[in-house]
A and B are shown apart, each in its own frame.
Chain A
Amino acid sequence: MLHLLKYRFLQIVRDYQMLFWALGFPMILGTFFYLAFGTLGLESTGESRWDGISVAVMEENTDSENAKAFLTFLNEIDGDTIQIQDISTEKEALSQLKEEEILGIYYVKETPSLTVGKNGLYESILTSLLKTYNLNASLIQEIAGTHPEKIPQALDEMSDYRQVIKEVSAGGKEMNPNVQYFFALIAYACLSGVFLSVKATFDGQANLSPLGARRSITPTHKLTLILMDMLLLVIIHFINILILNLYIVKVLGISLGDDIPSLLLVNFMGSTIGIALGIAFGCIGRFSMELKLGLAVVITLLPGFLAGLMFGNMKNIIETHCPIINRINPAAVLSDAYYYLSIYNDTAKFHRCLMILAFMSIGLVIIAFLGIRRERYDSI
């Protein structure tokens, strides 16, 4: 068994063309991203000049203690995390929100609320601020009543809020909206496992290649060959993704967060999805390998595009008009998972991503397995 694994491993890693598509191309693309807007992104978000997120504050009912405390809370962080704009009417605020001149509207009332125009990093921070306030409302009310000037200091101690702000202030890189491109890039790289597995499927199916026929008539059980191939492909592609992670973190200097076990888990699921997708696709129809590899470019780039690989705001547009696509597009789910891991520490949403990825992995592995387990064919 080890003998067969060894040779199959050699065969896969020596297939430089497929490895280029699975690893080399995403690395080159990442380098281009970095060169094209890496520095620009940092400047635009202000590593050295952070002005805060522009918001409007609508005072609907300031009679209650909670509303007063929330207003104090907002005023204390004005100029730091947020930048309250001088807008007096809700109509004007909504109009500016639509024009993206402000990114959110806080409503000061008994139960404070927030309206945002879209989903993105800054909107996530605004949401997180409100959430942090709600979770710690009684404490903040007390501080607001006695020492309002100490609110920012108190906020620093509050975990959810601190995590977001810490990410923002720790050099500003994570605030770079362009970092989303790198998450989409890793997601795309995960799907690029398709190239490795399409090729491997050709090598294993008697109706697709002479090599597949030769391997199918040996006394080694087909299930053994399939599982061996799948295992090796997932491991090899997992290593590819780890190399890409290292390149992005160590060479390009983009943080993927500190939660290494979760990062590895997402990488593993992403690799599994890419490989299984390729196997399932590889055994459909009897097209030439060249055509299938051509189509593989489409089935990796299209989800990547929809996840924001070429146009950063794509995922938000889809979220507004057809959110289901973001739930079923593996690249979008993977990119979200990397985002929640490295920037916006939302455990619930991260777990939702993990669940979706787990379902996708298992589902695709089952489909792939059913596709390649055939031992006899109608035509060869």
Chain B
Amino acid sequence: MIQIQNLVKRYGDLVALDHLNLTIKEGEVFGLLGPNGSGKTTAINCLLSLLRYDKGSITIFGKEMHPDSYDIKKQIGVVMQNVAVFEQMNVQENIDYFCGLYVKDKEKRKELVEEAIRFAGLEDFRKMRPKKLSGGLLRRLNIACGIVHKPRLIIMDEPTVAVDPQSRNKILEGILELNRQGSTIIYTSHYMEEVEQICSRIAIIDHGRVLATGTKEELKRMIKTGETITIEAIVLDDTTLSEIRQLPHVFDISYEEQTLKVRLSSAKHNLIRVLHYLQEQDISFGRVFSELPTLNDVFLEITGKELRD
């Protein structure tokens, strides 16, 4: 459905996209995961032909994308990172206006607007101006304006920034519903939990390059970390730390503010082995928990930095 090949975008000396390659298939919820400034929004703007790029090619629905590719644009819906609605028009008028930019038929438009209002849960707020809406409702209006024409491809650029958890969940559920209704979705975020929750395939992007692509499981299998054990309220000396580092399957440890984090490669009985060692050394400790690798671990291992750096 979408093919981005060797995309290069420079801002003077800064390389924002460095030979970016992506393939997105129809029906996917494709996550573009990367820290702020990694090139996600630049890639989206190039994809939408808003930004000039230096090199590479972009094809959508099998056709090359240009600013005047109106037949392609007709099938795309975009939810911008920043809320993009008219302050002077109410909820219904805003949705109707943006729908009118895609759909000329009045009856069809009326139907679509009602559907979008219902979808975004804005029935009780249709006559309200954006200024009167809460942050979450405003984001939902922003989404409704982007998807009202029922596009085949929906691009969502960090649609949940500054949204409360309740509204965030509603938005994420809505995205999955849109996907169930047949839309392909590109979802950019630096919230790994969201991407993990809704995306069927994920590309990790940093410094304008795709570092890894795959399903969650595939990505997690790419890294060394099989398990992370965290032990709180523990007092350790350098010798003990050194001995823990020598335990089987342990490849990395960190010890800060009386909290020990042990990263181990995938193996059976990792937790028992670590606890057994502590018992043998007669070291007391507080809470203990073990986690399977997250996308953050994937990101950390691939890029050497935290996702939210």
A→B interface (CB under 8 Å):
3-4, 7, 10-12, 14-15, 203, 206, 209-211, 213-222, 375-380
Contact = CB atoms under 8 A, between A and B. Distances in A.
Contacts of B76: 217
Given A7-B89, A219-B102, A375 B83 contact: no
A209 B84 contact: yes
Contacts of B73: 217-219
A380 B80 CA distance: 13
A250 to B, nearest CB: 29
29 contacts: A3-B96, A3-B100, A3-B106, A4-B101, A7-B96, A10-B89, A10-B93, A15-B88, A203-B86, A210-B81, A210-B83, A211-B84, A213-B45, A214-B78, A214-B80, A214-B98, A215-B101, A218-B98, A218-B101, A219-B74, A220-B101, A221-B68, A221-B70, A376-B50, A376-B51, A376-B67, A379-B11, A379-B51, A380-B50
B85 A211 contact: yes
B51 A11 contact: no
A222 B80 CA distance: 19
Contact of B89 (A11, A206, A214, A376): A11
A3 B110 CA distance: 12
Given A219-B71, A377-B51, A379-B51, A211 B102 contact: no
Interface string B127-170: 00000000000000000011000000000000000000000000
A2 to B, nearest CB: 10
Interface in B33-72: 45, 48-52, 67-68, 70-71
Given A7-B93, A376-B49, A376-B51, A213 B70 contact: no
B246 interface: no
Contact of B67 (A210, A375, A380): A375
A210 B86 contact: no
A10 B88 CA distance: 8
A166 to B, nearest CB: 48
Contact of A214 (B52, B96, B106, B145): B145
Contacts of A220: 101-102
A217 B146 CA distance: 11
Nearest to A18: B88
B48 A14 contact: no
A233 to B, nearest CB: 14
A378 B45 contact: no
B82 interface: yes
A11 B94 CA distance: 10
B234 to A, nearest CB: 48
B186 to A, nearest CB: 13
Nearest to A206: B50
Given A214-B78, A214-B146, A221-B68, 12 more contacts: A10-B93, A209-B84, A210-B81, A211-B84, A213-B80, A214-B145, A217-B78, A220-B101, A220-B102, A376-B67, A377-B51, A379-B11
B106 A14 contact: no
